[in-house]
Amino acid sequence: MCLDAARRRGWEITQIVNTHEHSDHTGGNAALQDATGAKILAHAGAAARIGGVDRGLKRGDVIRVGRTVELECLDTPGHTMTHVCLLSHTAQPALYCGDTLFNAGAGNCYNGGDPHSLYDTFVTQLARLPEATRVFPGHEYLARNLEFTLDREPENRDAAALLERERGTDPAAATVTTLAEEKRINSFFRLENPAVIARLRERYPDLPEHPDARTVFVHLRELRNRW
Ligand SMILES: [Zn+2]
Ligand SMILES: [Zn+2]
């Protein structure tokens, strides 16, 4: 798909960036590199597991694409412990967030990750990005995640309206949300919301009446694993 898209547009692929080491994100490396001679870039800590990595990435590194595009590497552990997100240096930033942040959801942590680290990544990094940042995750789970949001917060009108729109949308034309929208529709950014907490306490009766945000996040992640 990447090769076809590049050919259609007359672009030369010179770099392949893996957000993390899972095979659904790295499985195309060899064939794409054979076809293009491109260099492979990935989190420095994931390089040994991926193999064939030409440039190990760390927080603050900048990937230059063509003459004008700059992508800044964020070190975003949680889904795995060696995961990068890429933030474009553009008037309206774009975030390529792999399996860390999904539209209306968060990545799972049961294949090499840790929900506490994912919480730290959400709170100390993602939530602080500009509100207008456009979100481009590695998978399209919007409708299913909105159903989870509405199960947490049945009165969330933004989530209900977006789900209604999604049901009439061509699946090939994925909806792109902004971080501002995510904060309205994504339970993992709504850790102080009274409805989220009340519903969570129905599932986890041992939770205190005013759980801290980390506790809410970790329980939401746990609940989503079985939901
Ligand atoms: Zn993954
Ligand atoms: Zn994935």
- Render each residue's pLDDT in the chain as its tens digit; 227 residues: 899 999 999 999 999 999 999 999 999 999 999 999 999 999 999 999 999 999 999 999 999 999 999 999 999 999 999 999 999 999 999 999 999 999 999 999 999 999 999 999 999 999 999 999 999 999 999 999 999 999 999 999 999 999 999 988 887 788 999 999 999 999 999 999 999 999 999 999 999 999 999 999 999 999 999 99
CA of residue 79 to ligand 1 center, whole Å: 7
**What ligand is nearest to the CA atom of residue 111?**
1
In whole angstroms, give the CA distance from residue 199 to residue 45. 38
* Cα–Cα separations (whole angstroms), residue 2 to 7, 175, 183: 9, 19, 30
In whole angstroms, give the CA distance from residue 40 to residue 32. 10
- At residue 82, the pLDDT reads 98
Strands (E), the chain: 15-17, 39-43, 55-57, 62-65, 69-75, 84-88, 94-96, 101-102, 105-106, 134-136, 177-178
User: What is the pTM for the complete model shown?
Assistant: 0.95
CA of residue 20 to ligand 1 center, whole Å: 7
- At residue 167, the pLDDT reads 86
- At residue 134, the pLDDT reads 98
- At residue 174, the pLDDT reads 85
- Closest alpha carbon to 105 in 194, 225, 20, 203: 225
**What ligand is nearest to the CA atom of residue 24?**
2
Beta bridge partners of 74: 85
CA of residue 112 to ligand 1 center, whole Å: 9
CA of residue 67 to ligand 1 center, whole Å: 30
Q: Find all residues with CB under 8 Å of 204, minimum gap 6, and list them.
A: 219, 223
